[in-house]
Chain A
Amino acid sequence: MSDTAPKSNFMTRWRREPLLPEAGAGGAPLTAVIAVMSFLAVLAMAAVLIIHQSAGRWTAELQSEITVQIKGADQAEIAASASAAMRVLNDTPGVEEAILKSDDETAALLEPWLGKGNVRAFLNIPALIDVKVTPALRTDLDSLRQRLTAVAPGAALDDHAAWHNRLAMAAQSGQALAVLVFLLVMGAACAVSTFAARAGLAANHEIVSVLHLVGATDKFIASEVQRRFFILGFRGAIAGLAAAFAALAGAAYLLERGVGADSFLPQFTLGGWHALWLLTVPLATCLVTAFTARLTVLNTLHRQY
């Protein structure tokens, strides 16, 4: 008598056997490819998030800071203009902080170019004022500029606009590139899924034919295949996600150890929202895989009798 005799009958009724055999849909290779796709897609998404976060921080810092530079014929004139400018700045609503750099600090800034020594003896070093402004004032600096030049003719106001623009541009192109990579990976996942679904149908031709002959609709068969591909895609996507998290954690650790916490390089902490965004990637991957498989099956079957 068979080893699967009566005692397991109940289990048989209970179990929901898939109508297409496990081996048929190119299981393991497809899962592996989806894992790689998902890995790349998660990294691309992480790049988008990290650039967004870092660029936001950099530009916020840059945006709140402007510099006033004051030139003059001699040190006395510079000092007078500087204190006049400080008064104007301190009276301006929207200026959160104005700090006049001491002569020594200014000299230290020039040291790399001019060397140590009494630079002031032969140069009229301009005075520098670091100003922190509110975003509202930042957008309209013209009146402040006029009032400054009224009291200190040698004053020039630098809002770092060029530097800021260049940085924003770099961040945007970086993000665009990452989004493009993400979309390409999703497209590749579609292609792979289409290919695998066609191969699966061909390999299971006899089964599909029997299903049709006992009255299955194309939709029914497509749903079976879709469910299968969702499960395969899900396994792969989770594996890819895990690998990508490991890679990101490794990179974060190396960055922190290698360049120190106060570096200008992106320091990323992917917590909360970011983790959620990254979790949508494997979900998107297996949805794309399953849905593409469904469409492929419907399309292929439609050409049969």
Chain B
Amino acid sequence: MTKKQQIIRFENAGLAYAESAETLSDINLTLGEGEFRFLTGPSGAGKTSLLKMIYLAMRPTRGTLHLFGEDTIDAPREALPMLRRRIGVVFQEFRLLDHLTAFDNVALPMKVAGVNLNSYREDVSELLNWVGLGDRMDAKPPTLSGGEQQRVALARALVSKPDLILADEPTGNVDPAMSERIMKLFVELNKLGAAVIVATHDLHLVQTLGKPVLKISEGRVSRSPAAGGGA
């Protein structure tokens, strides 16, 4: 068996917004291929900030970050889109494009990658059906409820079959049943080989699924072993 590829590797990384003190410090963290992590911590702890560095929206202000074995700090700007295409993100604020339909929003990563519509049309429909929005494919985000928008965002994150899935509070706006369904989907995709990080406040879910947890408190990321009774 070959050594598992490292999907994420932070070394002595830190992140500071503007001139203020570091929001996150001394991050030393690795995530291997096919691994699953929950990310928890109080509001304002820095969960979103950590994810932002991973999906290449912000550079760590110090230290290094390797993604899929590639150095992201010194990478030329032209190399970043290719790395981003391997990551599917459910943003905490969804970040859907209001002028596009749900269908086009979900299709966006494929379109941007220059893929022919015929080869992903079915995937988009199936994903939207799966999240229960099969009949709202032509609706634009402003006409959708918060929970519906969140599900569109989820579908968009998965459509490109990414190697790494980052979900920032993906169940914050949906009912408990849908919430459980979404979490089980992540677990299934993880079994198919995707590495997954789910940031959540829902400690109950964390307990039931029994996956390893990364905890952020006071600007430090620490790892606690699999929580609760599961697996």
Contact = CB atoms under 8 A, between A and B. Distances in A.
Contacts of B139: 2, 4
Nearest to B94: A210
B112 A2 contact: no
Contacts of B57: 209, 213, 305
Nearest to A301: B77
B191 interface: no
Interface in A5-24: 5-6, 8-9, 12-13, 17, 19, 21-22
Interface stretch (B35-43, B102-110, B178-186, B196-204): B102-110
A90 interface: no
> Interface range on chain A: under 10, 10 to 19, 20 to 34, or 35 or more?
20 to 34
Most B CB contacts (10 A, CB to CB) among A21, A206, A217, A220 go to A217
A5 B135 contact: yes
Interface in B68-121: 77-78, 80-82, 84-85, 89, 95, 97-101, 103-104, 108-109, 111-114, 117, 121
B56 interface: yes
Contact of A19 (B55, B85, B97): B97
A8 B138 contact: yes
Interface in A213-239: 213-218, 220
A207 interface: yes
Contacts of B62: none
A6 B133 CA distance: 11
B156 interface: yes
B138 A305 contact: no
Interface string B126-165: 0000000001111100010000000000001000100000
B101 A215 contact: no
Nearest to A20: B99
Contacts of B135: 1, 5-6
Range for the number of chain B residues in contact with chain A: 35 or more
A212 interface: yes
A302 B137 contact: no
B97 A210 contact: yes
B56 A305 contact: yes
B104 A302 contact: no
Contacts of B66: none
A215 B135 CA distance: 28
B81 A217 contact: yes
Interface of A: 1-2, 4-6, 8-9, 12-13, 17, 19, 21-22, 206-207, 209-218, 220, 302, 305
Interface of B: 55-59, 77-78, 80-82, 84-85, 89, 95, 97-101, 103-104, 108-109, 111-114, 117, 121, 135-139, 143, 156, 160
Given A5-B135, A212-B81, 7 more contacts: A4-B138, A12-B137, A19-B100, A211-B112, A212-B84, A213-B55, A305-B59
Closest 6 CB pairs of A and B: A215-B85, A21-B99, A4-B138, A216-B112, A214-B109, A215-B84
26 contacts: A2-B139, A2-B143, A4-B138, A5-B135, A5-B138, A8-B138, A13-B121, A17-B100, A17-B104, A19-B100, A19-B112, A21-B98, A207-B97, A209-B57, A209-B95, A210-B97, A211-B112, A213-B57, A213-B89, A214-B85, A214-B109, A214-B112, A215-B84, A215-B113, A220-B112, A305-B57
